[in-house]
Chains A and B, each alone.
Chain A
Amino acid sequence: MAEYAIEIDKLVKKFGTFTAVNDITFKIKKGEIFGLLGPNGAGKTTTINMILGLIRSTSGRITINGLDIKKDGEKIKQLIGLMTQETVVEGDLTARENLEIFAELYHVSPIAERDKRIAEALKESELTDFADKKAGTFSGGMKRRLELVKSMIQHPSILILDEPTTGLDIQNRMNMWKHIRELNSIGVTIILTTQYLEEADTLCDRIAIIDHGKIKAIGTVSELKKVVGTGRILEVVAEDHTDAAAVANLLKGIFKLKPEMKVDKVTALVEVGNEEKIMTKLLAELNKKKIKVSSVSLHMPTLDDVFMTLTGSSTRDTTHEDTSSRMDAMMRGGMGGRR
């Protein structure tokens, strides 16, 4: 048995002249929950589509459970389950029919086995009582649960979750996290993409941050946080956003920091040991300059900071405005926990 669930070696995908995935190499261990993070257009979906066999790589190798994707495509398809951000249960069919069709497409046989799996799936998703109701009448949470058990009907050893909790309320999201952990505990390797960074922080064993088709960093959450540095993050929120520039100038001029500005919020990395002195002095300076602030805080780097540092907004603003503004939305989503 292979040690790794997925091995990706020097993978490249070009669409015409555009390189979506640019020579990436990483391995996902069996039984891991692996997070794949990156701004929109970074190459996450392209990578996943190649793993799923939906598109062919330009060059490089993908090995799944020791099987080469180019040679054993059919076998590999039985090993991978996918749940996407769109809910793809068929609303005109009942929950049971939805499961039945996919069990048959995955060639689950004989019929007794198929029916057993469907019964189990309905039970797991707590939809037994609604088995013969049309899925179109279900609530969002019920559809997601049906979707999850539908992706698992062929009993795959790898489950790819593409933004599984997008658009779910907090109860349903917690519920989904519980299901993901349960699946992982019975040995299913999970690959997760998400726009909620705290979701990746809580669930994932390891995370790869991908941008411009390249892997920027890979490791456990705490390993990644070291990328930002050993310092603390100083965050000042101006009461009036027109004062934010003044705050930034202050940090640059007096404290020799490298502040980053986001509307009314100014952040900067502060060396450990220096932070208390800076705090006191900053408050005094703000008072002297009569700049009103609504909050001043100092915290450990979060995954948000890691993400921000690695995918960098300053360079992006000038070249890819569209992508970066989408990324901003994503960042806000990560911090506030909702969009």
Chain B
Amino acid sequence: MSLMGDTFTLYKREMLIFRSNLRVNLVRSIMFPLVIILFFGNVGSSILNVPIAVVNYANNPQSLSLIGTLQSNNYLQISSITDQPTALNLLKNGKVQLVVIILPTFPSSQQGVPGVQVYYSNTQFSVTSFALPLISSAASKYTNNVQAGQPGGIQTQQNPAGEVSSNALYASKGSYKDFLVGGIVPMVVVFSALFGGGISLISDRQMGNLKAFFITPINKNAIVLSRILSGATQGILFAFLALSIGILDGAQLAGGWLSLVYIVIVSVILSLGFIAIAVMIASKIKRVDAYAIFSQVVGLPLWFISGGILPTQSLPSWLSAVSVVDPLTYANTVIRAITLQGFIPINTLLFNLGVLSVFAVVMIYMSFRVFNSSNEE
């Protein structure tokens, strides 16, 4: 029969039920992001292994020693020593967060003539709060050495203003809160999908509603499809609520209104895929309590390794390899880039959205199969 018509009828049913419990649904959905953003967003947090690129124009013993110092630091990871255009390109594509350019003037002791220039993209909150001060203090040591060799030196400042000049190329304010709010959105979408989609399906089976649908002359896929669509609608609503909480608490979106467009696109694809997963789990697990535990077990690790609360670079290497198969990683990449960097290269965008779309389509197809096979004898 008509799949779209039946889907619409059941979609209407789901949304009417949702509206009927609107207050409970909204409160339930904002509790988690509220706690996470307000609490974790407002405590300090540090990150290891910010990837940087180095351009060495000075090429003298002092500059090589500076590179050695930066290398030995746990907070920074030099991923490339290269020329300036390549380094800036790496920065643009998000391969590194920061480019350190050691100018020919290094080590400079003159006021107003910097020895080191830093370009950074603040996609990781830790750049401004950790990386910049680290580079500053490392570089200033050489200045002090120079100063020591010059009796009656001009500068007595501990941290000479002229040593490091930094330029934010792509950046929001770069606080952990900005970082966290971007990561909250996919989490809210995934959890609302896993909880809402699956539990309503199980309770519909227990109440006999599914049986009542099956004896009507509808297309069975409409039952799954309507649930996926209504879940996606609710997921986006919840994502916006979480985002609003973050913005009210002072987080900034570097991409402005464009951020919202990208967030909606990513949220829609992500929730389609995850409700499909919820439908599959709920087709196999017949009890609400068992389902609740199972969905937590699936959802929480995915969120954790996706870079939702900590950058993937800070994960142990084996775990960051696992994050490659986590669809949330791709969602986070897009959302992070647009909310923190305010910019995302088109090939990066297409690749990530492509991976997410394939994931969603495969999951939806499988959910039809699993749901239908679990209701046949």
Residues of A whose CB lies within 8 Å of any CB of B are 15, 52-56, 74-75, 77-78, 80, 82, 84, 86, 88, 90, 92-93, 97, 101-102, 104-107, 134, 154
Contacts and interface: CB of A to CB of B under 8 A. Distances in A.
Interface stretch (B16-24, B112-120, B274-282, B344-352): B16-24
Given A86-B207, A101-B9, 7 more contacts: A15-B377, A52-B215, A55-B377, A74-B217, A77-B216, A88-B209, A88-B211
Interface in B7-31: 9-10, 12-13, 16-17, 20-21
A84 B377 contact: no
A52 B215 CA distance: 6
B293 interface: no
A86 B377 contact: no
A74 B1 contact: yes
Contact of B377 (A56, A75, A77): A56
Interface of B: 1-2, 5-6, 9-10, 12-13, 16-17, 20-21, 207-209, 211-218, 376-377
Contact of B376 (A56, A75, A77, A92): A56
Contacts of A101: 9-10, 12-13
B207 A88 contact: yes
Contacts of A107: 1-2, 5, 217
Given A52-B215, A74-B1, A106-B216, A90 B376 contact: no
Contacts of A52: 214-215
Contact of B217 (A88, A90, A106): A106
The 4 closest A-B pairs by CB, nearest first: A92-B20, A77-B217, A104-B9, A105-B216
Contacts of B215: 52-54, 77, 80, 82
Q: Could you say which of A75, A84, A134 has the most chain B C-beta atoms within 10 Å of its C-beta?
A: A84
Contacts of A75: 217
B28 to A, nearest CB: 15
A42 to B, nearest CB: 18
B191 to A, nearest CB: 22
A7 B20 CA distance: 44
Nearest to A101: B13
Contacts of A77: 215-217
Classify the secondary structure of B's interface with A: helix
Given A56-B376, A56-B377, A86 B208 contact: yes
**Residue of A15, A52, A74, A90 with most chain B CB atoms under a 10 A cut-off:** A90
Contacts of B212: 82, 88, 102
Contact of A93 (B9, B16, B211, B377): B16
B42 to A, nearest CB: 37
A289 B280 CA distance: 69
Contact of B208 (A84, A97, A102, A106): A84
A134 B20 contact: yes
Contact of A105 (B16, B21, B218): B218
14 contacts: A55-B377, A56-B377, A74-B1, A77-B215, A88-B207, A88-B211, A90-B17, A92-B21, A93-B17, A97-B13, A97-B16, A102-B212, A105-B213, A154-B216
B211 A54 contact: yes
A125 B5 CA distance: 28
A335 to B, nearest CB: 29
A93 B17 CA distance: 6
Contacts of A106: 216-217
Nearest to B8: A104
Contacts of A92: 16-17, 20-21
A86 B212 CA distance: 11
B166 to A, nearest CB: 56
Contacts of B2: 107
Nearest to A80: B215
B64 to A, nearest CB: 70
A53 B377 CA distance: 11
Contacts of B9: 101, 104-105
